[in-house]
Structure 1
């Protein structure tokens, strides 16, 4: 007769325990940590594996992509990821506002230790200090641009490409000098982009230029394309150029070019006139995001030749700006009331809305925004706004169910 055999859960191998733990809810794991030292150490060590590799990974704080890690002040511990993600979802944050004195359409770019802000005649880089910025002591300053309400710029490979009225310039951050300053007298520049050795320039007079950059002197001209509408945005990846138009004279709102053959390979539209594309951002070599006048944030797939996801602004506002973490989170900046909207790309409904305090009395679009796991940076006509979601006891401003209330008469 075989003797009875029993074993304790704590005697199982760590691999077996992990296989069991991955089926538990987060609340169960938190309680299980309190039972014994071994369970506590295993769960702490493999928290990311137990939770963050599941399909229900958190909003904003995943830090999976290289791009989001490069603009994060630090890599968060798993428990901080969980806590801060809940703050994003519940609208719990503290906000700092900085008055910028004069109305401009601004552009910003976020790095791990710097916040770049282009407005008016200047582009400046300020050191990040949590949710504080010292605007009196910029680390870098580029000036001398022609007076204009918009100065587009992009940063790539430690270089800054700027577009301002009729001029494009390339500036070396390391050497602190301009590599070239080129006048394109036939263009009224609206957008620029740079990827590796490629430069794209879009204009309000329907022309897009493509150049090859050698980082030593003036770029080499590649091709010129004339479209049916004025151009609002351009975005490059390693092999393709996406161009967003005003879509006034044609239904085509996006044209995709092959940068090697210099030919148009795809024309995309949303089915309505005036659905201009203000911003474009590549997600993968075959997928990209767009936002603009039709109130939608859309994800387009070149393999099927149409958009495969669309997220409509809750108030049908123009999507002036957006940013994404190349995982499952997007944030849009809207036309009025300084409103930003958090989206989970796995769901159809928005997760949360954030109203900037600086726009409570005077409405303004969010012209540019960027985020990392802890902060949202958003610039309006007169203010730089920084929302800090890493707070331990932030006041919740929850607008997630604003459309679920019923008025009973």
Structure 2
């Protein structure tokens, strides 16, 4: 299937060598848009939106073939001495990385995708480690083991507003627009706004909350619990009334906690967790149900996932820093990348753009560069 799709890009590339006029025509995004939508991780969503309009589609299709075939160059970008639970967010050419109680903003060099040695901004204020944080156009919102939520303005990292309400660590949070939702080990989920540091609503969960995600419409949100006290860890809540709208699934085993939730659209949801499955949920159906599953081949818990808005999913496993890429049109994974062969650390978080994938382990930040393969072996003539 994929080989057949490569024929048209190859024909266009050869056609562009005929003359300058055809060359300029064959390089236009309008020619490549329909082709790019069928490839993985080209920045074209299922709805046809272009996420990276400043990069030629022709170049993105070429790099997409490396993603599909697992051709990349691995690199360790940062190391630290103690074991942490680092979290990252990617905002255009800035990578945000939490280390202990601080969050650093690192500028990515456009030529190599590497970090600058020192962060251009440092966000602090927590008394203990940062558990999760979210980045918007104007703010950075973080939750910590001290039970506090801090709201920083991105342009002024030296001042922050403290939100107090949880009495144990804030395991997860999400922020969209002016809405903030947090989940904690204290078995509650709380709703906040950027304009007030008092919770707008508190929902007793009767279980530890591991993950939350706000719908793109901002009218509802999803919580994922540890699944120790009940067998429906996934629940959708109304933002205005703080009422339960529905539960997703009912056949989860005890302890099958949900560790990450991703909204790809207002009606499509992806989840992963301790039961080793990635699941796709269609929220338009009645009742809302799982429409597709992908199982981790080595029976490892899945700590994090990300989608490209079209055909690709990337997941991070719990052992030896294993990252997998998936094509939603297939049940088997495309490629596996083992980031550590000596230390058995989970992939706590991963983020990618069209050319790079960044992943954090307990003591390292890794990069996979898909613009080019590994360094070629140096061959010497025989004597």
CA distance in 2, matches of 1:142, 1:321: 23
Identify which range, 247-256 or 341-350, moves more after superposition: 341-350
1:219-240 CA-partner distances (Å, limit 9, x unpaired): 3432211123211011112111
CA distance in 1, matches of 2:330, 2:375: 26
Are the aligned partners of 1:59 and 1:328 in contact in 2 as well (CA < 8 Å)? Answer: yes
| 1:85-124 equivalences in 2 (<5 Å) | 85-97=64-76, 98-124=78-104
User: What's the counterpart of residue 295 of structure 1?
Assistant: 276
User: What's the counterpart of residue 316 of structure 2?
Assistant: 333
- Tell me the CA shift for residue 151 of structure 1: 2.5
Q: Does 1:240 align with 2:220?
A: yes
- Tell me the CA shift for residue 393 of structure 1: 6.3
CA distance in 2, matches of 1:115, 1:263: 36
User: What's the counterpart of residue 310 of structure 1?
Assistant: 293
Identify if the C-alpha distance between structure 1 residues 69 and 379 changes in structure 2 by more than 3 Å, giving closer, same or farther.
farther
User: What's the counterpart of residue 5 of structure 1?
Assistant: none
- Tell me the CA shift for residue 69 of structure 1: 6.6
Identify if the C-alpha distance between structure 1 residues 80 and 157 changes in structure 2 by more than 3 Å, giving closer, same or farther.
closer
CA distance in 1, matches of 2:61, 2:239: 42
SS of the counterpart of 1:255? Answer: strand
Query: Among 278, 303, 319, which residue is 2:302 paired with?
Result: 319
CA distance in 2, matches of 1:189, 1:24: 50
Are the aligned partners of 2:320 and 2:338 in contact in 1 as well (CA < 8 Å)? Answer: yes
Are the aligned partners of 1:280 and 1:291 in contact in 2 as well (CA < 8 Å)? Answer: yes
CA distance in 2, matches of 1:367, 1:36: 50
Are the aligned partners of 2:162 and 2:197 in contact in 1 as well (CA < 8 Å)? Answer: no
What is the CA RMSD across the aligned residues, in angstroms?
A: 2.7
Are the aligned partners of 1:93 and 1:395 in contact in 2 as well (CA < 8 Å)? Answer: no
Identify if the C-alpha distance between structure 1 residues 281 and 368 changes in structure 2 by more than 3 Å, giving closer, same or farther.
same
State the structure with more CA Rg.
1
SS of the counterpart of 2:13? Answer: helix
- Tell me the CA shift for residue 100 of structure 1: 1.7
User: What's the counterpart of residue 77 of structure 1?
Assistant: 56
CA distance in 2, matches of 1:160, 1:196: 12
Are the aligned partners of 1:63 and 1:75 in contact in 2 as well (CA < 8 Å)? Answer: no
CA distance in 1, matches of 2:108, 2:359: 14
- Tell me the CA shift for residue 323 of structure 1: 1.2
Are the aligned partners of 1:212 and 1:222 in contact in 2 as well (CA < 8 Å)? Answer: yes
- Tell me the CA shift for residue 186 of structure 1: 2.9
User: What's the counterpart of residue 193 of structure 1?
Assistant: 174
Gaps of 5+ in 1: 1-21, 397-409
Q: Does 1:159 align with 2:142?
A: no
Are the aligned partners of 2:73 and 2:373 in contact in 1 as well (CA < 8 Å)? Answer: no
- Tell me the CA shift for residue 80 of structure 1: 1.7
- Tell me the CA shift for residue 113 of structure 1: 1.9
CA distance in 2, matches of 1:178, 1:117: 18
User: What's the counterpart of residue 379 of structure 1?
Assistant: 360
User: What's the counterpart of residue 9 of structure 1?
Assistant: none
Are the aligned partners of 2:32 and 2:58 in contact in 1 as well (CA < 8 Å)? Answer: no
CA distance in 2, matches of 1:232, 1:226: 14
Q: TM-score, normalised by structure 1?
A: 0.82
| 1:33-44 equivalences in 2 (<5 Å) | 33-35=16-18, 39-44=22-27
| 1:132-211 equivalences in 2 (<5 Å) | 132-135=114-117, 137-148=118-129, 150-165=130-145, 166-184=147-165, 186-211=167-192
Identify if the C-alpha distance between structure 1 residues 34 and 69 changes in structure 2 by more than 3 Å, giving closer, same or farther.
closer
Are the aligned partners of 1:52 and 1:62 in contact in 2 as well (CA < 8 Å)? Answer: no
| Paired residues, number | 364
Gaps of 5+ in 2: 378-383
Identify if the C-alpha distance between structure 1 residues 353 and 223 changes in structure 2 by more than 3 Å, giving closer, same or farther.
same
1:68-92 CA-partner distances (Å, limit 9, x unpaired): 976x6x8332332122112112222
CA distance in 2, matches of 1:223, 1:258: 11
User: What's the counterpart of residue 239 of structure 2?
Assistant: 259
- Tell me the CA shift for residue 43 of structure 1: 2.7
Are the aligned partners of 2:141 and 2:150 in contact in 1 as well (CA < 8 Å)? Answer: yes
Are the aligned partners of 1:65 and 1:325 in contact in 2 as well (CA < 8 Å)? Answer: no
Q: TM-score, normalised by structure 2?
A: 0.87
User: What's the counterpart of residue 345 of structure 1?
Assistant: 328
- Tell me the CA shift for residue 371 of structure 1: 0.3
- Tell me the CA shift for residue 139 of structure 1: 0.8
CA distance in 2, matches of 1:23, 1:310: 27
Are the aligned partners of 1:283 and 1:326 in contact in 2 as well (CA < 8 Å)? Answer: yes
